[in-house]
Structure 1
Amino acid sequence: MSQQPILQVDHLSGGYSLGKPVLHDISFHVNPGEMIGLIGLNGAGKSTTMKHILGLMLPQQGSVRVQGKTREEGAEGYQSSLAFVPESPLLYEELTVREHLEFTARAYGVDPSDYERRSERLLDLFHMQNKADSLSMHLSKGMKQKVMIMSAFLAHPPLYIIDEPFLGLDPLGIRSLLDFMLETKREGASILLSSHILSTIENYCDRFIVLHQGSVIAQGTLSEVAMQAGTDGSSLEETFYALVKNGV
């Protein structure tokens, strides 16, 4: 397995207006086959970080590289190397679930035989077979979230950017997603996962990045982050609280 990070963020500063950066000189990386938890309070800069990685915002300083290249060095290859699951599902109301999956497969150039296998597996895993031919306008919020998740994992890129995926999912959907993320990770893909449900992701992520007021204040394994917080042996939730409580 290659030792080059799938995602490399170096000294990134950026935001929505020049002179007022939301992010302040943040650096981190995601290796092949890693699941990294990006955690922080509301307004810490998690979504802004993800927008820079996705190419929706340009860095004011620093760089973002996916598989060693910036978006400016090859936009098509950069974008095809990642898939995004947003916090709020965004679907075409007059497309069915299956048509969303077919659309994604075409956009990412998924082989037809791979599409058939992957789509049926995902529909089964997320218990959506009986909704496969339903228009998205007729789905619940949780079902719409499942369609976004299935579309991302159907694409099978080397990097997944996943923002608060558990909102709206029922307990079975959450467990299905966590199990599938672990399987995807074992196959060599990398996942950057943002979530407020720290007790859920604690045992699934390999490392954590703690953002606070636009800066990385700790990163590493749970034990490494706990040592930085002075809470050795504590849970992720207790460690996170210790890191941010004095700066809120």
Structure 2
Amino acid sequence: MALKIENLTGGYSQLPVLHQVSFDVPAGELVGLIGLNGAGKSTTINHIIGLLKPFSGQISLNGVDLATSPIKYKKQIAYVPETPILYPELTLREHLELTIKAYQLNEKVAWERAKKLLTTFRLANKLDWFPADFSKGMKQKVMIVMAFLTDAKLFIVDEPFYGLDPLAVKDLLALIQVRKEAGAAILMSTHVLDTAQRYCDRFVLLNDGHVRSKGTLAELKAQATDPNASLDDIYLAIARGDA
């Protein structure tokens, strides 16, 4: 049991962007949230992390309902946004200290984990740097380190590959695999479908705010007209209205 979304209808105004969206992100799995620009991926994520209130429907994580127990629900989540969000007046060290305090982590254990993550993403000698000193890719790495420093039950990673160098992409995918094996649920929004096809356990295909298809790659292929179709082929057919 992990993230469960049931009949979610919502958006940013009185007109809904999402329509009766339902899907699960099971513990120990990486689920790819796939869609073109405007398909509803960001709106879905903003509802999951509690920035938007649904018009109707239910969102729960490990049996904890977002609407009725928002604090208990949000304590289980770590989020890596598409655009890095850092405090300009805080150093990297202070960002990590803030994360440790916010998630009430054991300080000794957390710093041991932080040192490993910083080494992996080549940030170990930059603890006293400010965000202004970092490139966009380095800021993205800081966000990844902060998220995976936690013991979150659900990691939400939004378009993680933009701005990352190939080595960092490989390191992130390896880190995701480790957390999957430890039982975490991971939802990843991405346009990089060839990578998603290789690494995701299952997929949710959004188009115009509706879930058009979901399941494993084998299940998506079984629903497609071409059993040899790639994830890219399957989604483009849906987006064009061919499927």
Q: TM-score range by the shorter chain?
A: over 0.9
Is there any run of 5+ residues in structure 2 with no aligned partner, and where?
none
Does the 8 Å CA contact 1:136/1:144 hold for their aligned counterparts? yes
Question: Secondary structure of the equivalent of 1:203?
Answer: helix
Q: CA RMSD in A?
A: 1.3
Look up the match of 2:161. 166
| Cα offsets for 1:163-210 (capped at 9, x unmatched) | 001111011111100110011100000100000001112111100000
Look up the match of 2:7. 11
Q: Pick from 222, 227, 234: which aligns with 2:229?
A: 234
Q: Pick from 102, 110, 114: which aligns with 1:107?
A: 102
TM-score where L is the length of structure 1: 0.95
Is there any run of 5+ residues in structure 1 with no aligned partner, and where?
none
Q: CA deviation at 1:155?
A: 1.3
1:23 aligns to 2:11 (yes or no) = no
CA distance in 1, matches of 2:209, 2:67: 24
Look up the match of 1:192. 187
Look up the match of 1:96. 91
| Cα offsets for 1:60-99 (capped at 9, x unmatched) | 1111111112123222211101011100001011211121
CA distance in 2, matches of 1:228, 1:21: 28
CA distance in 1, matches of 2:199, 2:107: 32
Structure 2: which amino acid aligns with 1:124? T
Greater shift, 143-152 or 71-80, is seen at 71-80
TM-score where L is the length of structure 2: 0.97
**Alignment: residue pair count:** 243
Q: Pick from 131, 139, 143: which aligns with 2:134?
A: 139
CA distance in 1, matches of 2:229, 2:186: 24
Structure 2: which amino acid aligns with 1:6? A
Q: CA deviation at 1:134?
A: 0.9
Look up the match of 2:63. 68
Question: Secondary structure of the equivalent of 2:195?
Answer: helix
Identical counterparts, % of pairs: 47
CA distance in 1, matches of 2:226, 2:210: 20
Structure 2: which amino acid aligns with 1:133? D
Question: Secondary structure of the equivalent of 2:100?
Answer: helix
CA distance in 1, matches of 2:67, 2:11: 18
